[in-house]
Structure 1
Amino acid sequence: MRAVFDDKTIRVYQAYSDAIADSALANGTFASPPFKMERMTWVKPSFLWMMYRAGWGLKDPGQTHILAIDISRAGFDWALANSCPSHPTPGISQQEWERQKHQSPVRIQWDPERDLRLQPLSHHAIQIGLGRQAVALYVNEWIQRISDVTSLAHEVHALVEKEKFDEARAALPKEIPYSPQMASATN
């Protein structure tokens, strides 16, 4: 997994409608309403995977704003430590996976990472689904800063459309391999 991070925070991305994004930016966290605390919310450390999922912020009205959310590394690491796969994996029975799913507040899913043209690569990007317990921690404790990076998404997309790949690559957030700190705190 690659991400933008420092010793205290790691960046994840989400795409939202105007109402949810504007509220989050104004409040420095997600506020309910319009954000739904009872729904699983998926965060993605990969900028290009988020661009694939949201179509550069142009895909639909519910994903027009791309937000960069810097969360505590301790919270992110807690999410990883308290997760289970979003689908059964080889070697685990359906019954065992159902038990794990019921006990885990977080789901993990690996999908092909994307290149600048949003084509799949041979390595994978992680998506992290936060269930109700984890959403409460995310919103109330983990979020340190929220930034609107929609203009960056549009800038990179425009460079890709003009086939200015070196410039597009230079504009991307600098994601590097991530290793959990294995902190036990949730904030």
Structure 2
Amino acid sequence: MEEPKYQIRAQYTASTITVYQAYRPEIGVPAAREGRFPDVWKRDRMTWIKPSFLWMMYRCGWGTKEGQETVLAVEITREGFEWALEHSCLSHYERGLHPDRAAWQRQLKRAPARVQWDPERDLHLQPLPHRALQLGLSGEAAHRYADEWITSITDVTPLARQIHAHVRDGDLDTARRLLPGERPYPAAEGLLRGGVDALDSAAEQTG
């Protein structure tokens, strides 16, 4: 069955959702140990969270890229995640969705979160036709993320290395069984201000 082009897929429970980030060990190791980010983590910078494990692996090279050696699974409240979606703006101008580029820029400047859709990845980290969500948090959203939404932080670098080893060995079935169980996230209609329905509608108008 073909995947919808724009759909949030994630590992989640009734109250939490897991997102991924990768940091240098000086940030990632104490974050996993303490369950919160250390003081060196800057709340005033934009931080990007990814519900897709494989997109995170593409971004950090299975935890081998400099400055991204520690891969974290950050469990946050669904309430917080959905607050960010509700207060988000699409990260790029979309003709047919925004009245004009200036209106989009004003919205982008005000929004504490931004939505970006990038090609999802397979086990070989090759692009797939459907998209994975990245959610950028800044200002109020970044502060809420660090101080209110996080329920746990787990170092999943060993899991990333284990899966990568199976991929290198050609044992894709074992690699696939080890992947986090991601499934479509039940985002309420209209939850994504810069999101799925609007993008699909804009594509229909311009196509």
Give the Cα–Cα distance (whole angstroms) in 2 for the partners of residues 151 and 109 of structure 1. Answer: 28
Question: Could you say which residue in structure 1 is the equivalent of 2:31?
Answer: 24
Distance 1:97 1:120 in 2: 28
Aligned to 2:202: none
SS of the equivalent of 1:113 reads strand
Identify the residue that residue 125 of structure 2 maps to in structure 1.
118
2:153 to 146, 150, 167: 146
Task: Give the TM-score taking structure 2 as reference length.
Answer: 0.85
SS of the equivalent of 2:92 reads coil
Cα distance in structure 2, aligned partners of 1:21 and 1:65: 5
Q: Which runs of 4+ in 1 moved over 4 A?
A: none
Does 2:101 match 1:74?
Answer: no
One-letter amino acid matched to 2:49: V
Aligned residues: 181
Contact map agreement 1:14 1:42 (CA 8 A) in 2: yes
Residues 29 and 155 of structure 2 are in contact (CA less than 8 Å); yes or no, is this contact kept in structure 1? no
Residues 165-176 of structure 1 aligned to structure 2 (within 5 Å) = 165-176=172-183
SS in structure 2 at match of 1:4: strand
Gaps of 5+ in 2: 1-7, 190-207
- Corresponding position: 1:161 with 2:162: no
Matched-pair identity in %: 51
Aligned to 2:112: 105
Counterpart selection for 1:52 from 30, 39, 58: 58
- Give yes or no for the alignment of 1:88 onto 2:88: no
8 Å Cα contact 1:73/1:180 also seen in 2: no
Across the aligned residues of Structure 1 and Structure 2, the Cα RMSD in angstroms comes to: 1.3
Residue 181 of structure 1, CA deviation: 5.9
Rounded to whole Å, the distance in 1 between the matches of 2:188 and 2:33 is 30
Deviation at 1:31, TM superposition (A): 2.4
Tell me how far apart the structure 1 counterparts of residues 83 and 73 of structure 2 sit (CA, whole Å). Answer: 19
Partner of 1:15: 22
For residue 22 of structure 1, report the CA deviation from its aligned partner: 1.8
CA contact (8 A) 1:9 1:72 kept: yes
Residue from 34, 43, 47 that aligns with 1:41: 47
